[in-house]
Amino acid sequence: MLNQKHTLALSILMVTFALSACQPKVEKKEQEQKIEQKSSSEVEDTTLTLQGETEKIAVELPECNGNSCPEFSVERLHTNQFVVDSIIDQAILKNLEQILDIAHQSKTVQAEKEKTEQQQEQQEQQASSSVIAANAAKTPVQSMAEQLKPYVKTFTALQQELESLGASSKISVSVSPKILNSKEPLATVVLNTSSYLGGAHGASAQTYFNFDLKHQKQVNLDDLIESGQKAQLEKLAYETFKTWVSINKLANSLEEYEQVWKFKLSNNFYLGKQGLILQYAEYEIGPYVVGLPRLEIPYEQLKTVLKKEYLPAELLVDQPASAALPVAKK
């Protein structure tokens, strides 16, 4: 009987020891699961962040030696946002169209472009399912390289014509996008372009593209403005314009300056650290010597003009409610 009691007590002791030994493992496993869940929840949501880099597009130019060889450089943007890439690609082609339009004064260059367009149209009409499938399999870089061919031909034709006229100038075209701001409230890409196609001087431009990543769309200046506040924004921008003219001593008086260079509100903008930046093109509100004019309107002046989501957080602190006025007794 004593042996049975001893055996029972020993069994109970062993079970208790086993349970106590397993308990820390169970608790440790639960803790590890909680840590893993917490870590996964803290992973940054990249869908609302613009991430990417530029890719240089390979183009074929005629062999050339010497310092006067032409340069045709185009880069595209490859990001985690397809909508952004597509819009910037189309903007690059549009900018090239505008740049090379200068050369269309030449009949030779115009004829070359028309010939290329006719060839493209014939290829599209004769496209078979195999050709369509092959085009679909191309990477964005390869597709962009194909679309650049007409512009490269136009550029090359211009170089050849300038050489035939005895010109020794080095002509060039450069287009390159860059991510300026990657997060909310607006992701911003700037497209830098420059060119020299002969003449007294070259040309350059900076065009800004702003995106609402949450809704996958491009945002224009009007989208930022509170209802009924467009006139106030124009007023603030005009005051900034007057200050800019005065500081840079561009004329003896504003009236004299505006006889040639009238003010206009630019839709080329981005949200800077201190205020709304309005970017202008060459010759848009000033002579070539001023380059690419830029007007900045401080956020402090825009508290009632811009929608709240586009203002810095520090400007949105609730102000104390004003005391109620006493009701006049009759």
Number of domain units in the chain:
2
Whether pLDDT at 323 is above 50:
no
Q: Between 264 and 31, where is the model more confident?
A: 264
* Structure tokens given for 150: 């007409």
pLDDT number for residue 45 = 62
**How high is the pLDDT of residue 3?**
54
Reported as a single tens digit per residue, the pLDDT across 70-102 is 999 999 999 999 999 999 999 999 999 999 986
- Whether 269 has a pLDDT exceeding 70, the answer reads yes
Shared domain for 96 and 205, answered yes or no, is yes
| Mean pLDDT, residues 57-79 taken together | 90
CATH value at residue 185: 3.30.565.40
Amino acid symbol at 74: V
Give phi and psi for 61, each to the nearest 5: -115, 155
pLDDT above 90 as % of the chain: 61
pTM for the whole thing?
0.76
Query: How does pLDDT run across 123-164, given as a tens digit for each residue?
Result: 666 665 554 555 567 899 999 999 999 999 999 999 988 888
Mean pLDDT value of segment 183-205: 94
Which of these three, 219, 247, 281, is where a domain ends?
Answer: 219
On the 0-12 / 13-18 / 19+ scale of CB atoms within 10 A, 83 is middle
CB neighbour list of residue 203: distance below 8 Å, 6 or more residues apart: 99, 194, 195, 196, 282
> Which residue range is the domain that position 270 belongs to?
224-314
Burial of 47 (C-beta count, 10 Å sphere; 0-12/13-18/19+): exposed
- Would you state the pLDDT for residue 84? 97
Predicted local confidence at residue 2, as pLDDT:
47
Last residue of a domain, one of 204, 219, 234: 219
Q: What pLDDT is attached to residue 137?
A: 72
Q: Evaluate if residue 325 carries a pLDDT over 60.
A: no
My answer on whether 174 and 233 are in the same domain is no
Distance between CA 287 and CA 284 in Å, rounded?
Answer: 8
Domain stop point among 190, 219, 248: 219
Structure tokens at 255: 């009236």
Q: Same structural domain for residues 75 and 196?
A: yes
Q: Is residue 21 part of a domain?
A: no
Does the pLDDT of residue 196 top 60, yes or no? yes
- Checking if the pLDDT of 65 tops 80, the result is no
Q: Are residues 163 and 237 in the same domain?
A: no
Rounded to the nearest integer, the mean pLDDT of the chain is 83
Distance from chain centroid for Cα 28: 48
Nearest CA among 87, 269, 89 for reference residue 186: 269
Are residue 246 and residue 204 in the same domain, yes or no?
Answer: no
Give per-residue pLDDT as tens, 223-240. 999 999 999 999 999 999
